[in-house]
Amino acid sequence: MIIPMTDIERKLTEDHLSIVAKVIQTLTCGCRYVSYDERQDLLQIGNLALCKAAMNYDGNRPFETYAKVVIRNAIYDYWRSLQKERTYTCSMDAIADNETDTSYQQLLADTSSLQNLEQEHNLRSIYEYLQTLQNVNCTTIKKGIQALLLQQNGYTSQEISKHYGVPASHVRAWKSKARKYLQQDATLYTLLS
C-alpha cells in the first residue's frame, strides 16, 4: 500500500535532497571505483530513505541529522542484501579436472551447499587475517578492528563503549582509524573481492 506524502513532508524532502549525495560520497570515498549504475542505485535508495525519513520525522531533533542516519542505514541494508545475494562461481573446466565421481548435474543441483561452503571458507579466511592484523598492530588499531568485528555482529558503538568503559566517541575514533588502515591493506582487499 502506497501512503502519499503530505505537502510538508514533500517540502522537507525537496529542501534536503543534497543530503543524499553527501552521505553517498562519505560512504563511498574509500572505494576505488563506483560505477555509474551503482551510484544511481545508491541515489535511488538514498532518495527513498529521505522520503521515509520525512514521513517519520517527529520534529524532536534536527531533520538533517535524523535523515543522514536513515539514509546511511538504508544503504548499509542494501549492501548487506547484495552480499547475501552474491553468488560464487567456478569454471566447468575446474570441475572437470576434479577426480571425483560427482557429475555436473549433481553439482548444479546442490549449488546452495557449494555457495555456503565457499562463503564460510571466505569468511573464515577474512576473520583469520583480521586476527593476525590485530596481533601485529598498535593498541588503537587492534581495538578498532575488534570494534568493527563487534559491530558486524550487531553491537552498537554505545554497547561497545560500555564494554571498554570509554565514551562512544572513542570507539568511533578507533573504528575510523581501523577502517583507514584496513582500506590500505592489499591482502584484505584481495580476500574481500
Which residue ranges in the chain fall short of pLDDT 50? 89, 104, 107, 114
pLDDT at site 124 = 73
What is 7-85's CATH topology? Rna Polymerase Sigma Factor; Chain: A (1.10.1740)
| Tens-digit pLDDT profile for residues 111-144 | 555 456 566 666 777 777 777 776 666 777 788 8
pLDDT at site 140 = 79
pLDDT at site 89 = 45
pLDDT at site 139 = 77
pLDDT at site 26 = 87
pLDDT at site 47 = 93
| pTM assigned to the model | 0.45
Maximal C-alpha separation, the chain: 67
How far, CA to CA in Å, does 161 sit from each of 87, 131, 144, 150, 182? 36, 21, 11, 11, 21
Residues with Cβ within 8 Å of 60's Cβ and at least 6 positions away in sequence, in order, are none
Set of cell numbers at residue 83: 552480499
Instruction: Identify whether the C-beta of residue 20 lies closer than 8 Å to the C-beta of residue 71.
Output: yes
| Tens-digit pLDDT profile for residues 135-154 | 666 777 788 877 877 887 77
Question: In the chain, where does the domain assigned CATH 1.10.1740.10 lie?
Answer: 7-85
Q: At 76, which helix (H) or strand (E)?
A: helix 63-85
pLDDT at site 183 = 76
Hey, which bits of 47-178 come out as E strands? Answer: none
Q: What letters, b where the CB count within 10 A reaches 16 and e where it falls short, cover 72-107?
A: bebbeebeeeeeeeeeeeeeeeeeeeeeeeeeeeeb
